[in-house]
């Protein structure tokens, strides 16, 4: 009789461990899928930028420094994306976002550029892509939160560390984006 009780406890513990492990794997795969969604949107953004820069070049030839900064930031973002390091991607993409703002600010100085249909379409596409990136980041952060929570709660935390699971980092806004916007009239 004691043998059956011990065997039942061992089987129950094994089932609990299997359920925890499978839950961790499912959550990890969701985080990886969410990261892939961000990756796809960033690739789309990187593909749109050269077209945008070429359109602006025709109107703002003497603004070469701004355009070169955008291209440098795009190239750095693409290299960071290739590295698959979320922290490096985050920093590079935040830098790219900042330089893209300079192109749209530049457009305010050139009425002909603002009226150019190609520029307007690229601007709309880029804005749409930025919205999708934002949604993908939220989706990623939700999955990271869920996964990290699983890593921290008892008893999963004990087994997760032993199995080599590590917490993911959240995709956060750059410090410059957190600053209060000054509105002047």
- Among 100, 67, 101, which residue's Cα sits nearest to residue 181? 101
Is the confidence at residue 109, as pLDDT, over 60? yes
The C-alpha atoms of residue 53 and residue 107 are separated, in whole angstroms, by 11
Report, as an integer, the average pLDDT of 144-167: 91
The pLDDT of residue 91 is 85
- 6: helix, coil or strand? helix
Alpha-carbon dihedral 48, 53, 54, 57, rounded to 10 degrees: 160
- Among 66, 122, 130, which residue's Cα sits nearest to residue 99? 66
Report, as an integer, the average pLDDT of 92-102: 83
Helix or strand (DSSP H, E) at 141: helix 117-152
Task: Give the percent of the chain with pLDDT over 90.
Answer: 30
- Among 58, 66, 179, 183, which residue's Cα sits nearest to residue 110? 58
Is the confidence at residue 176, as pLDDT, over 80? no
Is the confidence at residue 184, as pLDDT, over 50? no
The C-alpha atoms of residue 53 and residue 90 are separated, in whole angstroms, by 22
Mean pLDDT of the chain: 83
pLDDT per residue over 157-173, tens digit each?
A: 888 988 899 999 888 76
Helix or strand (DSSP H, E) at 129: helix 117-152
Would you tell me the crossing angle of helices 117-152 and 86-108 to the nearest 10 degrees?
A: 150
**How many beta carbons lie within 10 A of that of residue 90, not counting itself?**
19
The pLDDT of residue 185 is 31
Q: What residue ranges define each of the domains in the chain, with the CATH number in brackets?
A: 31-173 (1.20.1440.20)
Is the confidence at residue 52, as pLDDT, over 70? yes
pLDDT per residue over 12-48, tens digit each?
A: 999 999 999 999 999 999 999 999 998 888 888 888 8
């Amino acid at each position: 009789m004691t043998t059956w009780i011990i065997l039942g406890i061992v089987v129950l513990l094994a089932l609990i461990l299997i359920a925890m492990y499978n839950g961790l794997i499912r959550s990890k795969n969701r985080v990886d899928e969410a990261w892939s969604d961000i990756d796809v949107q960033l690739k789309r953004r990187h593909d749109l930028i050269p077209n945008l820069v070429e359109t602006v070049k025709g109107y703002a030839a003497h603004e070469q420094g701004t355009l070169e900064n955008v291209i440098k930031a795009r190239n750095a973002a693409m290299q960071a994306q290739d590295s698959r390091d979320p922290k490096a991607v985050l920093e590079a993409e935040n830098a790219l976002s900042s330089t893209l703002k300079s192109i749209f600010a530049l457009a305010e100085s050139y009425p002909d550029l603002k009226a150019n249909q190609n520029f307007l379409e690229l601007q709309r596409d880029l804005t749409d892509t930025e919205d999708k990136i934002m949604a993908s980041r939220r989706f990623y952060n939700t999955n990271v939160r869920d996964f990290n929570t699983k890593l921290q709660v008892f008893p999963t935390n004990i087994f997760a560390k032993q199995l080599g699971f590590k917490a993911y980092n959240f995709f956060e806004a750059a410090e410059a984006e957190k600053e209060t916007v000054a509105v002047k009239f």
